[in-house]
Each structure stands twice: as C-alpha cells, then as structure tokens.
Amino acid sequence: MEKPLVKPLDGSQDSELQKLIDFYEETLGFCPNSVLTMYHRPAIAYAFIELNKAVMENKGRLGSSLKRLMAFVSSNATGCRYCQAHAIRAAERYGAEKEKLEHVWEYDSHPAFSDAEKAALDLAVQASVIPNSVDDELANRLRKHWDEGEIVEMMGVIALFGFLNRWNDSMATEIEPKAVESGEKRLGAKNWSPGKHLT
C-alpha cells in the first residue's frame, strides 16, 4: 500500500477550521494529520472536531488525564500505533501521574490505579475488542464507582477512538514528529514504533 492512503491538506487558509483546531494546540501541541486528512471533506473535519470537544469535556469526576489513558488503552487494544502515541501524549499533557503513565500497561494489577479507574480502563479494553466483551460483571463494577453520565462520557471516549483507530490505521496517517517523540519516550520500552505511520 502506498502510504498514506490519502494525504493531509493544508487548512491554514480556512479561518473557521483554524478556530476549531485551537483545541488540538492545547491537547497535543499541533493539529493532527488525521483532521487534515478529513479536511478533504470539510464538513467531516468540522463535525469530528466538535464531537471530539464534546466527548473530552469533563462533566463528572472522570477527568482529562483518565479519559486520555482510556483512549490509549482502547487504541492499544485495537493496535493503532498512531492513536497510541497521540493518546499517551495527551495524557501526559493533561497531567497523568508519572507512575500511571509508566504502568498503564498493567493498570489492572498496579496499585497506582484505583478500583474505579481499573473499571473504566477495563471498559476501554472490553468495548474495543471484537467481539465486544462488556459483560454484567464489568457493568456492575462500573455502576459501583461511576454514575450513568460518567459512563456515557467513557463510552464517548471509546467510541471516538474506535472511529480514530479505524481511520488512522486504514489511512496509514502520517504521524507527526511530536507524536513520535511521545511514543518513543513513553511507549518505546514496550516495543512501540510508528510502523506504517512513518513515511
């Protein structure tokens, strides 16, 4: 496959797009190439950015860093290296504790993670695999720690990254240098590499 499948466009002349992508300057420090690829059909890029903003807004106790760790765990379950690097970078930028960043791989057994966080991260894994493996046991653990609105926020993160994982893995979206830097720093010890996302 010639990489990337579709090349990102330069949206710098679109003032409306520039207003929307300020969100990514905060979360990642750059506009992702995935959004600039979506920009081949501007309505998709605009809608995606607005969805991303709505999903990542915090209304309950979930918090920005846990949402980004959930995004990482979900992306790890699906195998999208582009999204793994982006999610771990965003988790770091949103203040995830060093111990959690270093042990997210074994969150289910590591004492840095509370039972509530473990339930949220288990949802991110079980809702991301095919076939879906969310079951009554997990549902009961989630309800023990989180209210329904918070569970909706979690599913928003997982579903958003389900879209992104498929988009970026299928497109072989070219990964940005800062995302590579975060991936190598935080994930390199676990054999992370940009793979097909590096052109």
Whole-angstrom distance, CA of residue 111 vs CA of residue 99: 10
Domains of the chain by residue range: 60-197
Q: What is the pTM of this model?
A: 0.95
Residue showing tokens 């960043």: 101
The pLDDT value recorded for residue 18 is 85
What rounded mean pLDDT belongs to the chain?
A: 95
Contact status, residue 176 vs residue 30, Cβ threshold 8 Å: yes
Contact status, residue 27 vs residue 164, Cβ threshold 8 Å: no
pLDDT digits (tens, 9 = 90+) for 30-52: 999 999 999 999 999 999 999 99
CATH topology of domain 60-197: AhpD-like (1.20.1290)
The pLDDT value recorded for residue 114 is 98
Contact status, residue 71 vs residue 82, Cβ threshold 8 Å: no
The pLDDT value recorded for residue 1 is 66
pLDDT digits (tens, 9 = 90+) for 59-86: 889 999 999 999 999 999 999 999 999 9
Residue showing tokens 């590499």: 193
Assign residue 11 a region (left: φ > 0; alpha: ψ between -120 and 50; beta: otherwise).
Answer: alpha
Say if residue 181's pLDDT is above 80.
yes
Say if residue 137's pLDDT is above 90.
yes
Residue showing tokens 């004492």: 111
